[in-house]
Amino acid sequence: MTTTTKIKTDIEIAQETKLKRIQDIASELDLLEEELEPYGHYKAKISLHALKRLATKQDGHVILVTSINPTPAGEGKSTVTVGLGQALHKLGKKVMIAMREPSLGPTMGIKGGATGGGYSQVLPMEDINLHFTGDLHAITTANNALAALIDNHIHQGNELRIDTRRIVWKRAVDLNDRALRKVVVGLGGPTQGVPREDGFDITVASEIMAVFCLATDLQDLKRRLANMVVAYNVDRQPVTVADLGVEGALTLLLKDALKPNLVQTVEHVPALVHGGPFANIAHGCNSVIATKMAQKLGDYVVTEAGFGADLGAEKFLHIKARMGGIEPKAVVIVATIRALKMHGGVGKQQLASENVEALKKGLANLEKHIETIQAFGLPFVVAINRFITDTDKEIHALTTFCEEKGYPVSLTEVWEKGGDGGIDLARKVLEAIENTKSTYTPLYELDEPITDKIQKIARIVYGASDVSFSDKAKKQIEQFTSFGWDKFPICMAKTQYSLSDDPTKLGRPTDFTITVRELKPSIGAGFLVALTGDVMTMPGLPKQPAALQMDVDELGNARGLF
Amino acid sequence: MTTTTKIKTDIEIAQETKLKRIQDIASELDLLEEELEPYGHYKAKISLHALKRLATKQDGHVILVTSINPTPAGEGKSTVTVGLGQALHKLGKKVMIAMREPSLGPTMGIKGGATGGGYSQVLPMEDINLHFTGDLHAITTANNALAALIDNHIHQGNELRIDTRRIVWKRAVDLNDRALRKVVVGLGGPTQGVPREDGFDITVASEIMAVFCLATDLQDLKRRLANMVVAYNVDRQPVTVADLGVEGALTLLLKDALKPNLVQTVEHVPALVHGGPFANIAHGCNSVIATKMAQKLGDYVVTEAGFGADLGAEKFLHIKARMGGIEPKAVVIVATIRALKMHGGVGKQQLASENVEALKKGLANLEKHIETIQAFGLPFVVAINRFITDTDKEIHALTTFCEEKGYPVSLTEVWEKGGDGGIDLARKVLEAIENTKSTYTPLYELDEPITDKIQKIARIVYGASDVSFSDKAKKQIEQFTSFGWDKFPICMAKTQYSLSDDPTKLGRPTDFTITVRELKPSIGAGFLVALTGDVMTMPGLPKQPAALQMDVDELGNARGLF
C-alpha cells in the first residue's frame, strides 16, 4: 500500500464487501439443499446428516496454522488462515477454512476481533463477533441449566449426598465480568436454596465448550456430557451429570448448536466457524465436527489452533487429532518481525523501529517451534505475516536465516492483498504436502503415567529441563489415577508469551523448570488440565471498554465494533 | 374425539405436521424477498424495513384474547388465539397471529408449553420452546453486559458516585434457578471488583424485556434503554444507562432480536412470535413491533395478553395500546368450565366432576371481566374453551347465562379440531367488529396522580372498595413525583388467581382493599410497577424438573418436551 492511501479499518473493508448469498456459497459444495439451514442471508448451519452421507468420501488435507510465542496483539494466525485459504482457492483448489467462533466478552472488552483482518476476514464480521448463530448462548444456557439442576438437587434433599463445599461446576456468562469470579449463591433463607461459594467462568472456558468441540456426533456429545464431573460427594467420590440424569436435557439444548456454521471470506471462500474453547484451560481449536465436515467438503482444509505452537499446535496434535482422527498434512508457523524482535529483547515501544540484531536474536524462538513440529514428524512452512513497519533488511535477515537452515519460508501480505498476498505461501504448502511423506507421531502415548506425559510435553515442546509438581498436584495425580483418569491426554495451561511458565522469559529460555501447581479433570472433554501459574477463566473489563464505542446507526448497521 | 381413540400429545401432533417452508408462508404476505431472513427452514425474522415500507398501508383489526382468572393450568388463551386465527383463515380472511415467545425456565421446570396445544399450536414447537431465534439470549446478554459495565464502572473509580447499596439493576438468566435469587458478587479481594449484594431475575422479568416489547423501532429502543435507571448515587439521585454511556452497545446487542419472528400454525396460518415479558412485574404482551407488523401484513390480527383480563387485558389496554397506538377492535374472553367451577368453590380434585351449581356460582368472575371490557368501551365474545370433562349440562348452563344477559358466547373446540373448532367464534368476533362501533377509552389519564391511577384500576377493574398504600409506597410516590416519574402508566403486580390481591379469594370478591406494598420504577419501559404482595421474578425448579425427561433421539429429534 502507498503511504498516501488512507488505510481502511477491518469493519470498513467488511461492510464494503458485497457478500454472496450463503446458498450461492453452498452451491459450489457437495451439499444437498435440505442439509443447509440458513440463518439470515449470509450464514447457515450445515446438518450433521451431511457428515453421514459423505462418510465414505476421501478426507481433504488438513493444514494447521500455528505461530511462535505471540505478542499481546497476536501474530495474525486468523488472518493468515483466511489468506492462505483464499490463496489456495485462487490456485484452483477446492478449499475450506475452519476457524473458532469468537466470544462476546473480549469483543465488548478490548478492541480486537477474532475473524481475521483486512482483506483476509470471514464475514459478516459483525454477526460473527456478536451473537452469530447462537452457539455460545446455547452453551451458556446448558452450563447454567446444569448449575441450576445441581443446586436444585441439593435443595430438594440431596439424594446424591453432594458435598456443597466440593461442587466444581461453575456458572458461566459469555462476558468479561470480574465481579462474578467469586460469588456466594443461595442466600436469603431456606426457600432460596442452600448457601455456598460459587463462581462464574466466561463461557468459552466452560467444560461444555471443550466437550462440544471434541464431540464427533450427537451421541458422542451426550456421552461426554454424561461423563462430566460436577462435584464430589461426602465420601469424596465424583458426582457426574449421568448421576443427575440430565445429559439428555443438555444434549437437547445443544443439538442445533452442534451443526457447524458456514460463512464466507472477503473473497467468497467458504469457511466453517464453529466452537471456540480457551487455549489455556481447554484445547483452543474449533470443533472436531467442523474440521471433519470441512474435510468432506474441501480437498484442502486450512485451520488454526490458539496461541503459539507450544500450546495450540501441541494440543491440536495430542488432543484434537487423536480424538477426532484428524492428522494434519502440513503446518504453517506464523511469525511477525515485531514478535521476533520482542523475543530478541526489544521493548513494546520500540517494536516499530528497525533492529536486525534483535530480530536475529529472537529467531531462537521460531527455531524451537520448528523443532517441535519436526518432532511431531510434520512438514511445515514459515509464514512471515508482514506489517507496515517491517523493513526490507529485517525481512531479508529472517528469510536468509530460514534459507540457510533449509526451512521453507514465505513472505505473506494477506491483510493488505487478500489471497494474492498468500500465493507463494500456498504454493509452498502444497509442495510440502506433495513432497513430504507426513509421519504424524504423538510425543507421548495415552497409557503413559500422568507425570511422564507432562514431562514429555515440557521437555520436548517447551525445552524445559524438568517439571516440578506441587504437593497438591502429586496428591491429585494419585487420586485421579485411582479414579481411572490417568489414560487421558494432558491439556497444559501455561502462559502463551513464553516457552516457559514465566511470561517474562522470552526468546528460547533454557535450564528452566515447569511447575505444575494443580490439576483439573475435564472428564467429559476427556483430558486433564495441568495448571502452571494462574489461569484466567473470567476476564475483566478495562477502564474504557470497547462497549463505550459500540452503536447502531440509523440504517441499523453496527458501528464501533473495531 | 371418541373415547376409543388414543389422545395424541401436543408434541406428537406437532411432529406429525408437515410444515411448509417459511418462504412459502411468507410468499402469501406482502413482504419482499430481502425482508425475510430465514432461520432454518421453518422460522424467519422480518426486517424492520418492511414496517417503514408499509407505513401508509391500512392497519389490520386487532382482536385481543384474554380470560377470566385462571386455574394454575391456565385457561388455554394461546390455544384459543391460534385456533381463532386458523378459523378466520378458513373463513377466507387474511389473518396474522401475534404471540409471546416462551422462556426456557418454565420449559425445563414444569411441563407445559406456551405455544398453544392440540391442533391449535404454533410450530416448530420444539424450536420455539428452546432457543428459537435467540431473542431471549440476546436480552439476557444485554442485561448482563449492563451489569458487568456497572460493576466495572465502580471498580475503575466510580466516577458517577454510585451507591453500591442502591444498585437496582439485577443480573439475569433465562432459567428457573432459585439459588441465584440472592447472591453476593465481587468477592475475592481488590482485583475481583467491589463486593455487594446482588440477585438474578429470570430474563423475561428483566426491564430490557419490557423495553424490547414496547419499543416502536430501533431508535425508540435505544432511547428507552438510555432511560433505564440502574442505581442511585450517594445523593440518592437516579443513575441511568445514558449516564454510563452504553445504550449504543445494548442496542447493538438487540438489533437483530428486535425483528419479529415468523412461524406457522398447525394449519399453516402465519404467526409472529416475539417478545414475552412477565405479566406481573411487566405488561405481559408480545412486542409492539410484532403486533404492528402483523397489522401491516394481515387484515385481522389475533393476539393475547398474559393472565386474566384484570392483569393482561388491563395492561394491554392501558400500556401497550397507548404506547404503540394499537387499539383492539374486539376482545375474546376465554373461560373454561373447570375454572368457573373453581370460582364457584370446587376444589382442584373435584374439577372433573359435573357441578352445575358451582359453575353458576363461579359465573360472577366471568361477569366482572365482561364489565371491565365494557368499561373500556370494547365489544367482546365469550369463548368457552371446551375440555373433555365438560358435561352438556354445564355447557348449557354457561351458554344460557350468556344468552340471557345478551353476552355473545361461543363454544370452541380448537384444541381437538383446529380452526374448524373455532368457526362459530370467528363469525361472532367478525360480527362484533362489524356491528359495534369500538370506542376504546382508557380508564385513567396519564396526567392523573399516581395514587388516582392505581385507585381507578383497583376500583373499576378489580372491584376493590379501596387501596391502602404502605408507608414505603407513600414515600416512593413522593420521591417518584419529584423525579418527574408521575406521568407514566401503572403496571400492577398482583396475583393472577383472584380479582383481589389475595389468591384464595375466588369468584367475585367484594368489600376488599388492595394493598400497594412498594413501587418499582421501570423508566425505560415507561411504567411504574405497583407491587401488591410478593412477586416472583425468579422461579425455582420442582423436585422432578421436566429437564429429567428431555432428550434427543438418534435422529436428532426432541423428546420429552411435553
Lowest mean pLDDT among A251-265, A402-416, B101-115, B417-431: B101-115
| Model ipTM value | 0.96
CA pair distance B22, B40, nearest whole angstrom: 9
Three-class DSSP labels, B218-245: HHHHHHHHHHCEEEEECCCCEEEHHHHC
CB contact under 8 A, B184 and A179: no
Residue B2 has pLDDT above 50, yes or no: no
Residue A319 has pLDDT above 60, yes or no: yes
Closest residue in B to A44 (Cα–Cα): B40
Find the mean pLDDT for residues A453-475. 98
Query: Do residues B212 and B222 touch, judged by C-beta distance below 8 A?
Result: no
Lowest mean pLDDT among A105-114, A483-492, A551-560, B328-337: A105-114
Known active-site residue B100: yes
Q: Give residue B303's pLDDT band: very low, low, confident or very high (50, 70, 90).
A: very high
CB contact under 8 A, B547 and A149: yes
Catalytic site residue from B98, B205, B271, B279: B279
Say what percent of chain B tops pLDDT 70. 98
Find the mean pLDDT for residues B242-248. 98
Does the CA dihedral B536-B523-B204-B68 come out positive or negative?
positive
B73 annotated binding-site participant: yes
Residue A184 has its nearest CB partner, among B183, B193, B219, at: B183
Residue A518: strand, helix, or coil = strand
A206 annotated binding-site participant: no
CA pair distance A371, B555, nearest whole angstrom: 46
Residue A135 has pLDDT above 80, yes or no: yes
Separation of CA A21 from chain center: 28
Q: Give residue A554's pLDDT band: very low, low, confident or very high (50, 70, 90).
A: confident
Residue B479 buriedness (CB in 10 A; 0-12 / 13-18 / 19+): middle
Catalytic site residue from B164, B223, B360, B387: B387
A74 annotated binding-site participant: yes
Residue B145 has its nearest CB partner, among A178, A180, A547, at: A547
Known active-site residue B469: no
Known active-site residue B415: yes
Q: What pLDDT score was predicted for residue A30?
A: 86
Q: What pLDDT score was predicted for residue A561?
A: 81
Condensed to tens digits (0 to 9), the pLDDT of residues B309-336 reads 999 999 999 999 999 999 999 999 999 9
Residue B3 has pLDDT above 70, yes or no: no
DSSP codes, B522-558:
ETTTTEEEEE-S---SS----SS-GGGG-EE-TTS-E
> In 10 A of CB B3, how many CB atoms?
6
Grid cell digits, residue A387: 506489517
Q: What pLDDT score was predicted for residue A556?
A: 86
Distance between B180 CA and the closest CA of chain A, angstroms: 6
Residues of A in contact with B111 (CB under 8 A): none
Q: What pLDDT score was predicted for residue B257?
A: 98
Residue A185 has its nearest CB partner, among B131, B183, B245, at: B183
Distance between B508 CA and the closest CA of chain A, angstroms: 32
Residue B439 has pLDDT above 90, yes or no: no
A291 annotated binding-site participant: no
H or E segment to which residue B173 belongs = strand B171-173
Q: Give residue B112's pLDDT band: very low, low, confident or very high (50, 70, 90).
A: low
B71 annotated binding-site participant: yes
Distance between A286 CA and the closest CA of chain B, angstroms: 22
Distance between B136 CA and the closest CA of chain A, angstroms: 10
Find the mean pLDDT for residues A357-368. 97
Closest residue in A to B547 (Cα–Cα): A249
Residues of B in contact with A145 (CB under 8 A): 104, 108, 175, 547
Residue B148 has its nearest CB partner, among A176, A185, A552, at: A176
Residues of A in contact with B148 (CB under 8 A): 173, 175-177, 179-180, 541
Query: Is the pTM higher than 0.95?
Result: yes
B26 annotated binding-site participant: no
Separation of CA B33 from chain center: 30
Q: What pLDDT score was predicted for residue B554?
A: 84
Q: What pLDDT score was predicted for residue A112?
A: 59
The residues, ordered by sequence, that sit 6+ positions from A354 with a Cβ below 8 Å of its Cβ are A391, A393, A394
Known active-site residue B133: no
CB contact under 8 A, B151 and A248: no
Highest averaged pLDDT of the listed ranges A347-356, A483-492, B99-108? A483-492
Find the mean pLDDT for residues B154-161. 98
